[in-house]
Chain A
Amino acid sequence: MNKKLLIIFSFLLIILLSLTASAEVEIGGEVGVDSSVIFNNNQSEFYLTENLKIKLFIPQTKSAEVKVDFELRNNQFGTNTTFKKLYIKRGYNNFNISLGRQPVSWSFGSLINPVDFNFGAEIMDQSQSAKYIAAAKIYVPVNWKTGIELVANPQISTKTKTETKTGIRARTMINNYDLSLNYINDPLDINRKNKIGLSLKGDLGPLGLYSAVSYEKSTKQTIEDENIYLLGLDYSKTINYDQRVYLQGEVINLSSIKLKEFATTLLQADISDNLELDEKRYNLLAGNISYSINNFSSVNLFLLGNINDSSFALTPQYKNQLPGNIDLTISSILATSKNKDFFNQENVPLSINFNLSYSF
């Protein structure tokens, strides 16, 4: 841990402890240990990461709320501290405003969200770091089910200049369908600054149905506009009276440029080098099967694949709550690819991860 970081962290810890001792502030969080074994080219590598998540529960007043949530990670590469949340929310008669580092998420229940404020913020049911940004957010409620959210996110474009990414999301419910209309202006995206997204979620008989359409307008004559279409279904059933199965699947139709962008973000590495940028449209498949063995343990299987070339990445996961309030998660990533279009199988080595965590 570098000296500066250690001083900041120690200072924060003292403040936090004194706060909890003097007021009704409560501390919560999680202590966890992540261990991974990666099998690559007949060799195995072992990694160990310890992490501490601290949440401060500061009593809120009628009109103000403060959120502090930070994470400390330590492994053989070093130590880093990240503030996930550090913001103040203030309520007024007709709107509320929150300022500081906070999550900005425009989720609607999909596994992959192509209409989020930051793409990659929601991936396969996991919250990603792209969700937490420094921003000013204003929420204007219209009625109990309708609201408008405005976001301004300053970003550094050069050493001397900052640009502000802005967005607006209008959300309502029509005929029991949750509807959202989003607009984003991103000055840092030199090819497509203006993006419009529409999402819906509701029920279709016994099934949950959701869909999204994204349109990104090109700012250059040489570059084409981009469209992304998503359609998904979910379903749950109780079998043998008390064992629950949950199924979710979605198809995303997109161009090769977007597929490359998605593959890089979704698999968190530049592993789609073999993908040629052509005129073809691709169909990406994302799925989740979850089976609860009992109240304490479950098995999940996440799937991500490219239907066009039958390349798939599978993430099996086993979760168990052990005695003593300790959570055990065992997961792996398995990849298979025929033509190595979507991703190069050799670049997705087999990995097994063990995670133990304790919530307090």
Chain B
Amino acid sequence: MNTNKLTKIDFNMKLITSFLIMIFCLIFFSQNMMAITAEEIINKRDENEYIESARIEAKMIITNSGREMTKEMVSISKGEDAFVEFTNSRDRGTKYLKKGDNLWMFFPDAEDVVKISGHMMNQGMMGSDFSYQDIMESTKMTELYNFELIGEGEYNNRTCYILEATAVEGKEVSYYRRKIWIDKERFIALKEELYAQSGRLLKVSEVKEVDEFEGRYYPVISIMENKLRENTSTEFIVEKIEFNPEIDESIFTLENLQ
């Protein structure tokens, strides 16, 4: 009798354990099936921030130990091609044409059109902290970096995914490693820490304002702080943006540059 009772209790225990294991597995697998991957997060970010074609009116405010310099520009881009014209008084009329990997510059005083050497693409454009590549190219982040979701956190009272990006081997990138805070709701990178291969923190980029344009979010005020120099930063303000406008191919010609 006692043996039967014990066997029954043992059976019930096994049943409960099996049930609990099943419940646990169900919760575990369903959670994993629902969890978003790093690649999905970055793709959603690209859907917002990657530009296929656009016309942008923007302003860069460069600050260095209390000194300030403002550059204003109009940029028209389509795929790999871009046309940028500076409109502030000091640089007014200076124009750039990027066609694939080739870059030309128009000097307004002498009305010269000169092809810029390839090595200049990674240099600061018009004395700013943004390279020619940063301003004139919109490359999908997934093509340049491998991403890993390393956690979640808060930034400016918004819940964010925290991702770490490491440069794809063989790809030429300005920063070897990035730590990115992506808004969980709007899929915009609100903060980025940019590191050198040595692990040294070079710059921190923070988005100050995001606007919604025809169902997509886009950062309109961002500030890049240079961590190698004290009190040095560049603020990039998008004053007007038009996504996928009608762009005449004649914009991206040497004739239009001069």
Say yes or no: is A75 at the interface (Cβ < 8 Å to chain B).
Answer: no
- Tell me how far the C-beta of B108 lies from the nearest C-beta in chain A, rounded to whole angstroms: 9
Determine whether B120 belongs to the interface, using a CB cutoff of 8 Å to chain A: yes
Q: Are A107 and B114 in contact (CB-based, < 8 A)?
A: yes
Between A and B, 25 residue pairs with Cβ closer than 8 Å are A102-B111, A103-B110, A105-B111, A105-B112, A109-B114, A127-B110, A143-B253, A144-B249, A145-B253, A147-B254, A203-B118, A234-B119, A241-B196, A241-B200, A242-B229, A244-B123, A292-B127, A295-B69, A295-B124, A295-B129, A296-B64, A296-B69, A296-B127, A321-B69, A359-B89
Binding site for B on A (CB under 8 A): 28, 55, 57, 84, 96, 102-103, 105, 107-109, 122, 127, 131, 139, 141, 143-145, 147, 171, 173, 176, 178, 201-203, 206-208, 234-238, 240-242, 244, 246, 292, 294-296, 321-323, 325, 359-360
How many residues belonging to B are interface residues under a CB distance threshold of 8 Å?
A: 44
Looking at the assembled complex, report how far the CB atom of A321 sits from the nearest CB atom of chain B, in whole angstroms. 6
Query: Distance (Å) between the CB of B42 and the closest chain A CB?
Result: 25
Q: Give the complex CA separation of A240 and B227 in angstroms.
A: 12
Is A57 in contact with B69, judged by CB distance below 8 angstroms?
A: no
Q: Contact: B67 with A241, CB < 8 Å? A: no
Residues of A within 8 A of B228 (CB): 240-242
Contact B109 A201 (CB under 8 A): no
Q: How far is the CA of A257 from the CA of B111 in the complex (A)?
A: 31
- Could you tell me if B255 and A139 are in contact, using CB atoms closer than 8 angstroms? yes
Q: If A173-B102, A238-B122, A294-B64 touch, does A105 touch B127 (CB 8 Å cutoff)?
A: no
Majority secondary structure of chain A interface residues (helix, strand, loop or mixed): strand
Given contacts A105-B112, A294-B229, A325-B90, contact A141 B255 (CB under 8 A): yes
**CA–CA, A187 and B209, complex, Å:** 63
Cβ distance A61 to chain B, nearest Cβ, rounded Å: 15
A227 to chain B, nearest CB (A): 24
Chain B residues near A (Cβ < 8 Å) = 62, 64, 66-69, 89-90, 92, 99, 101-102, 107, 109-115, 117-120, 122-124, 127-129, 196, 200, 202, 226, 228-229, 232, 234, 249, 252-255, 258
Q: A141-B255, A323-B67, A359-B89 are in contact. Are A207 and B119 (CB under 8 A)?
A: yes
* Residue contact B252 to A294, C-beta cutoff 8 Å: no
Q: State whether B123 touches A295 (Cβ < 8 A).
A: no
Instruction: Choose among B127, B129, B196, B229 the residue with the greatest number of A CB atoms under 10 Å from its CB.
Output: B127
Chain A residues within 8 Å of B62, by CB: 295
- Chain A residues, Cβ within 8 Å of B115: 108-109, 173, 178, 201-202
Expressed in whole angstroms, the Cα–Cα distance for A322 and B66 within the complex equals 11
Name the CB-closest residue of B to A144.
B253
Contact yes or no, B254 A144, CB < 8 A: yes
- Extra contacts besides A244-B123, A323-B67 (14): CB < 8 Å: A84-B109, A109-B114, A147-B255, A176-B101, A201-B115, A203-B117, A203-B119, A208-B118, A237-B119, A242-B226, A295-B234, A323-B66, A325-B90, A359-B90
Bound-state CA distance A33–B58 (Å) is: 32
The answer to whether B64 touches A295 (Cβ under 8 A) is: yes
CB contacts (< 8 Å) of A206 on chain B: these are: 118-119
Q: Which 6 A-B pairs have the closest CB atoms?
A: A208-B117, A144-B253, A178-B115, A203-B118, A141-B255, A127-B110
- The answer to whether A235 touches B119 (Cβ under 8 A) is yes
A127 to B64, Cβ gap below 8 A? no
Q: Quick check: A141 and B253 within 8 Å, CB to CB? A: yes
A98 to chain B, nearest CB (A): 10
Q: Tell whether A236 pairs with B110 under 8 Å between CB atoms, given A109-B115, A325-B90.
A: no
A67's nearest neighbour on chain B, judged by CB, is B111
Among candidates A139, A236, A295, A323, residue contacting B128 with C-beta atoms closer than 8 Å? A295
Contact: A236 with B226, CB < 8 Å?
A: no
Note all chain B residues with C-beta closer than 8 A to A241: 196, 200, 202, 228
The smallest C-beta distance from A128 to any residue of chain B, in angstroms, reads: 9
B120:A236 contact, CB within 8 angstroms: yes
User: Is A295 a contact of B127 with CB atoms below 8 Å?
Assistant: yes
Q: Are A295 and B117 in contact (CB under 8 A)?
A: no
Contact A234 B117 (CB under 8 A): yes
Nearest CB of chain A from residue B5's CB, rounded to whole Å: 76
Beta-carbon nearest neighbor of A69 in chain B: B109
Q: Within the complex, which residue of B92, B119, B200 is in contact with A236, where a contact is CB–CB below 8 Å?
A: B119
Taking CB atoms, residues of chain A closer than 8 Å to B200 are 241
Assembly CA distance A296 to B258 (angstroms): 28
A108 touches B92 (CB 8 A): no
Query: Which of chain A's residues have a CB closer than 8 A to the CB of B66?
Result: 323
A207 to B90, CA, bound (A): 30
**Complexed CA–CA distance, A325 and B120 (Å):** 26
A143 to B255, CA, bound (A): 9
| Interchain CA distance A178-B102 in the complex, whole Å | 10
Q: Which residue of B lies closest to A244 (CB)?
A: B123
A218–chain B nearest beta-carbon distance, Å: 30
- CB A329 to nearest CB in B, in angstroms, measures 14
B232 close to A295 (CB less than 8 A): yes
Q: Would B102 and A28 count as touching, CB distance under 8 A?
A: no
Q: How many whole Å from B244's CB to the nearest CB in chain A?
A: 21
Given the interface contacts A139-B255, A323-B67, does A28 sit within 8 Å of B232 by beta carbon? no
Partner of B110, one of A105, A141, A325: A105
How near does chain B come to A108, taking the closest CB pair, in angstroms?
A: 7
